[in-house]
Structure 1
């Protein structure tokens, strides 16, 4: 049983965490290159938020947005 858990530990530390170790080493030489993935995720989240707010405004302009607090039974 001990070898099973050691195999899981080896799998994670030697193989699955390898990209994170590479990013950690890259950060010591170039911070911008190491954080490019974070900036991509931030841009995607900002674009999704802008789209969501536009959709909310469309529903509000068409009076399809129900602002009543009793719209759901658990708010009563």
Structure 2
């Protein structure tokens, strides 16, 4: 049973965490390149927020949004 858990630990440490070790070493030389994935996610979130805001404005212009507090029975 001990060999099973050691093999499991070896799988993660020796193989699956290698990209994380590479990013950790890369951060010492180039912070921007090491965090490129974070910047991609930030840009995706900004794009989603802009799209969502535009859609909210479209519904507001068409008077299709319901902004009263009695929209749900538990609020009124």
Q: TM-score range by the shorter chain?
A: 0.7 to 0.9
Number of residue pairs matched?
Answer: 76
TM-score when scaled to structure 2? Answer: 0.87
Give, in whole Å, the separation in 1 of the partners of 2:57 and 2:26.
43
| Pairs within 5 Å for 1:1-76 | 1-76=1-76
Q: Where do 5+ consecutive residues of structure 1 fail to align?
A: none
RMSD: 1.3
Q: Which stretches of structure 1, 4 residues or more, deviate above 6 A after TM superposition?
A: none
Structure 1 or 2: more helix by fraction = 1
Pick closer, same or farther for the CA change 1:29–1:67 going to 2, 3 Å: same
Q: Where do 5+ consecutive residues of structure 2 fail to align?
A: none
Pick closer, same or farther for the CA change 1:75–1:3 going to 2, 3 Å: farther
